[in-house]
Structure 1
Amino acid sequence: MVSTSALAETAAALGEPARVAMLGALMDGRALTAGELAAVAGVAPTTASGHLSRLLEAGLLAVERQGRHRYHRLASPEVARVLEGLMALSAARPAPRRALRTGPRDAALREARTCYDHLAGRLAVGMADAMVARGQIQLSPDGGALTDAGADFLQGLGVPVPVARGRPFCRPCLDWSERRPHLAGALGAALCLRCLDLGWMRRVPASRALDVTPAGRLGLRQAFGLDRADQSSTISAAR
């Protein structure tokens, strides 16, 4: 059972904008140096060092050494899950009286992005909805299960059914922008990797956003019944 003090320590580690910015920069699964994270957070290198030490002590970060360099990444997929949940909780708060105007990058993040090692955003939620509606996957608050129909569907897409080593095979992850679940776990990661390998999506440099290619629009429509209309993705009623 988690102690009250341990929970408070984790919450305190998250209660600093610079540290939250650093964690957010690692939400796409990359590993970054202290200097890169300092630039993201807009703080001096010495200040960043203190923040990173705090995050390491709280078990939110892990460090990898490669030669003379130290690379920081999220400690586990569970950390990404907590951060995505906090984003959803924060997004549910009442908007301020003077709402901030969002730009194109925000729109791109809402449409398609990475959530650690799996897909998130409007398209990812649509993919999960389609698979549930067709009986290819079963989702519950506690986890998910792939049906025989789902295994056949993924095989047709060239997605290998992954072996979950030390992590959930499949689970719903609450999408912070859509506030509905997308697919996470080993299965979600395998689906994300396949979409990238097929050229359906491309990573946007220095961002969690994913650029959906014309081939991806066609592939998502054919495979999942997703279409783009009025900047939103819908499931085709014909499927």
Structure 2
Amino acid sequence: MLELNDVSLEVGGHIHLYPTNLSLGAEGFNTLLGDTLSGKTSLLRLMAGLTRPSKGRVKFDGADVTGLAVQKRNVAMVYQQFINYPNLSVWENIASPLRVAGLKIDEIKRRVSSIAELLKLTPYLDRQPSQLSGGQQQRAAIARALVKECKLVLLDEPFANLDYKLRESLRDELPRLLADRGAIVVYATTEPSEALQLGGLVATLFEGRVTQFGPSSSLYRFTWHESASCISRSSGRCQV
């Protein structure tokens, strides 16, 4: 269980996140839904340990990890950009966090082979990232995150830079890829349709505040926020 207890973030007198309380479990997806600059990334960074909250506590499985450095947390994060090491092969990219962790080579080979097969990257393991398509590059980034078998997986709009067809395909595959891993998964998006498709629990954010938190089905019944993109109370459709 990941718990945020009255966490807030203020930088240079500007409030990025107002006091927030959330409890997120490993059963299904947990989605953060909101416009750009709504506070999604700030919240993910607090969860990961990349940023320390100005106030409040972060707990993981009952332990207070508020001041614990990200290197000491069992967390993986996938970003919007295709972040791969350009001078390493796909195999070496995926294996890199396992090497850093000091795993034996046989275990590294087993894990890389398993996740590459799952993400359909096996034919490309000897290639450089520059030789891959955009979708394959993001698959490699996801593989590098999942191969660590972390207990917390954070995805910050991971498919935003892909074309629509590829985005739909990868999004459809994501629940399968993360099933049975026992990890808490938090997925940030600006698109209500993604939140509805992924299911699970959804926290909607607006200007640094969590305005709603509950099952994705509740998005059909309540207004997300009063400006920009929202879900109409009457029609249940995305509107601009």
TM-score band, normalised by the shorter chain?
A: under 0.3
Q: Which has the higher contact order (CA 8 A, sep 6+)?
A: 2
TM-score (norm 2): 0.26
Task: Identify, as 1 or 2, the structure richer in strand.
Answer: 2
Higher-helix-fraction structure: 1
**TM-score, scaled to structure 1:** 0.26
